[in-house]
Amino acid sequence: MKKGPIIVTLAAMAGLGAWLLLRRGPEAKEGEQRPVAQVQVAAVRVGPIIESLPAAGLIEPGPSGSRAVALAYDSIVTRIAISQGATVAEGDLLMEVAATPDAALAVASARSAAQLAEQTLASTRQRFDLKLAISQDLAVAEQAAADARSRLASLEGRGQSGDGRILAPQAGVVTKLDVQPGAVVPVGAALVTVAGRAQLEAHLAIELADAPRVHAGQSVEVSAADRPAAAGAVGPVREVGAAVDPVSGAVDVRVTLPVGMAWFAGEHVQGAIHVSERTALVAPRSAMMPEGDHWVLYTVKDGKAVRHAVGLGIVAGDDAEVIANDIHAGDAAVVLGNYELEDGMAVEVSAGAGKPASADDSRSRPE
State the pLDDT at residue 19: 46
Q: Is the pLDDT of residue 361 over 90?
A: no
Crossing angle (nearest 10°) for helices 101-129 and 135-157: 160
Average pLDDT over residues 283-306: 92
Q: How far apart are CA 96 and CA 183, in angstroms?
A: 12
* SS3 at position 10: helix
Residues 285 and 273 in one domain: no
pLDDT in tens, 15-48: 555 544 445 544 444 545 567 888 999 999 999 9
Residues 202 and 271 in one domain: yes
Residues 57 and 204 in one domain: yes
Buried b / exposed e over 27-52, threshold 16 CB at 10 Å, is eeeeeeeeeebebbbbbbbbbebbbb
174 lies in some domain? yes
11 lies in some domain? no
Residues 72 and 191 in one domain: yes
CATH number, position 121: 2.40.50.100
* Domain containing residue 209: 53-63+198-277
Residues 80 and 190 in one domain: yes
State the pLDDT at residue 14: 53
Residues 82 and 101 in one domain: yes
Residues 74 and 172 in one domain: yes
Average pLDDT over residues 336-347: 90
In DSSP notation, 101-141 reads HHHHHHHHHHHHHHHHHHHHHHHHHHHHHTTSS-HHHHHHH
pLDDT in tens, 64-122: 778 889 998 899 999 999 988 888 888 999 999 999 998 888 888 989 999 999 999 99
- Please, which pLDDT band fits residue 360 given cuts at 50, 70 and 90? very low
Q: Which of 277, 306, 338 is the last residue of a domain?
A: 277
Residues 134 and 239 in one domain: no
Evaluate if pTM is beyond 0.75. Answer: no
State the pLDDT at residue 65: 77
Q: Is the pLDDT of residue 9 over 70?
A: no
Question: Which of 267, 252, 243, 263 lies closest to 216 in space, CA to CA?
Answer: 252
Q: What percent of the chain has pLDDT over 70?
A: 86
- How many structural domains compose the chain? 3
Q: Which of 153, 177, 195 is the last residue of a domain?
A: 195
Q: Give bridge partners of residue 284 from the DSSP assignment.
A: 319
Average pLDDT over residues 314-335: 91
CATH number, position 244: 2.40.30.170
pLDDT in tens, 169-203: 888 888 889 899 999 999 989 999 988 777 789 99
Are 103 and 129 a contacting pair, CB within 8 Å? Answer: no
Q: Which of 222, 251, 277 is the last residue of a domain?
A: 277
- Please, which pLDDT band fits residue 13 given cuts at 50, 70 and 90? low
* SS3 at position 25: helix
Average pLDDT over residues 310-318: 89
Average pLDDT, the chain: 84
Q: How far apart are CA 185 and CA 283, in angstroms?
A: 64
State the pLDDT at residue 36: 84
In DSSP notation, 159-213 reads TTTS--EEE-SSSEEEEE----TT-EE-TT-EEEEEE-GGGEEEEEEEEGGGGGG
6 lies in some domain? no
- Please, which pLDDT band fits residue 292 given cuts at 50, 70 and 90? confident
CATH number, position 360: 2.40.420.20
In DSSP notation, 278-324 reads EEEEEEEGGG-EEETTEEEEEEEETTEEEEEEEEEEEEETTEEEEE-
17 lies in some domain? no
20 lies in some domain? no
- Rg of the chain in Å (alpha carbons): 43
